[in-house]
């Protein structure tokens, strides 16, 4: 049934696709809170569903790059396999009982906050932007590249584990890693990163499969809406300056991170302060409080 939350969630899904088309990121970092706070999906299920959604949309985005020859299979295999191992392990850890949905959302909000800080700290360019839009690498630490392949594999494990644990796709870290560690040209790094995200998402999703509830109908409709948005974003990129959009997106992430922290703060407080029952009452499994019956022997 179409409800207001369902409609708003799918409108945001289109915006997520536009974001992917305009700035090349922001897919899972917007999909998870939309599924949780707008569409009422539990955090663990939302993370698993977002992996299926972002993986499918990234696969569609990788097709034109593949046709243009902008995908390096060897690098994608080396980096992608390490992210897959990390993503599957992170997803299995996330399904353990001690990893609660509240903990996952707090970690997710932390990653959202870090992404916002990095986006807002980038200094605006005085010179006109180049004709080919390229991600800014000025804040990425310069690696010691005597063993660059080892750095690439280790970062792949870390990005993958983060993906499986909290659902962050890793798009903000994959492109710089491919350029600086894998020595991949920028055009090919963008196309190769989409393939890495696909592999990453598949492994993380398999780690959740069978352990959380999945709404396949919602996954399908959300993916279709995001796919329509990515087509629109690819068209609008010619008219919108990515630098200005990136700043606005960074402030939006700050607001979303603050909202997530506040929501989970109130939930943690309610969990730590259970309602006390009056003296002499016990709580049944159904949650109803009753007074226990006492058998009194007659004199």
Three-state DSSP class for 3?
A: coil
For strands 289-290 and 282-283, give the pairing: antiparallel
Q: What token pair was written down for 295?
A: 């058998």
CA dist list (Å): 211 to 44, 48, 76, 90, 95 = 9, 10, 28, 14, 7
pLDDT of residue 93: 92
pLDDT of residue 22: 67
pLDDT (tens digit, 0 to 9) for every residue of the chain, 299 residues total?
468 888 898 998 888 887 776 665 666 678 888 999 898 899 999 999 999 998 888 888 788 878 888 888 888 888 888 889 999 999 999 988 888 888 888 888 888 888 778 777 755 443 344 444 444 444 444 544 555 567 777 778 888 888 888 887 666 667 777 777 777 777 787 788 888 888 989 999 999 998 999 999 999 999 999 888 877 776 776 776 656 667 777 788 888 888 888 888 766 555 554 445 444 444 444 444 444 454 545 44
pLDDT of residue 25: 61
Q: What token pair was written down for 89?
A: 């392990």
pLDDT of residue 221: 94
CA dist list (Å): 139 to 19, 172, 199, 231, 286 = 21, 12, 26, 29, 54
DSSP string, 193-236: HHHHHHHHHHHHHHHHTTTS---HHHHHHHHHHHHHHHHHHHHH
pLDDT of residue 269: 57
pLDDT of residue 270: 56
pLDDT of residue 277: 45
């Amino acid at each position: 049934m179409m409800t207001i939350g369902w409609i708003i969630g799918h409108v945001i899904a289109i915006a997520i696709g536009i974001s992917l088309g305009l700035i090349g990121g922001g897919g899972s970092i917007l999909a998870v809170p939309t599924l949780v706070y707008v569409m009422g999906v539990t955090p663990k299920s939302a993370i698993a569903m977002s992996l299926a959604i972002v993986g499918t949309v990234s696969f569609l985005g990788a097709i034109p790059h593949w046709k243009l020859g902008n995908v390096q299979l060897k690098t994608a295999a080396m980096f992608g396999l390490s992210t897959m191992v990390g993503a599957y392990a992170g997803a299995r850890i996330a399904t353990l009982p001690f990893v609660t949905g509240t903990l996952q959302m707090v970690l997710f909000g932390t990653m959202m906050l870090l992404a916002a800080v990095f986006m807002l700290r980038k200094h605006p360019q005085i010179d006109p932007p180049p004709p080919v839009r390229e991600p800014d690498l000025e804040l990425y630490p310069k690696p010691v590249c005597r063993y660059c392949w080892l750095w690439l594999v280790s970062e792949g494990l870390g990005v993958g584990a983060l993906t499986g644990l909290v659902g962050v796709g890793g798009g903000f870290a994959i492109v710089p890693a491919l350029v600086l560690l894998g020595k991949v040209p920028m055009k090919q790094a963008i196309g190769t990163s989409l393939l890495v995200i696909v592999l990453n998402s598949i492994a993380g999703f398999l780690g959740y499969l069978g352990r959380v509830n999945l709404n396949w109908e919602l996954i399908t409709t959300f993916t279709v809406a995001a796919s329509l948005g990515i087509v629109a974003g690819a068209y609008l990129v010619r008219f919108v300056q990515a630098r200005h959009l990136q700043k606005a997106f960074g402030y939006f992430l700050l607001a979303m991170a603050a909202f997530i922290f506040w929501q989970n703060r109130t939930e943690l407080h309610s969990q730590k302060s259970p309602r006390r029952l009056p003296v002499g009452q016990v709580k049944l499994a159904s949650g109803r409080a009753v007074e226990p019956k006492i058998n009194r022997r007659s004199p």
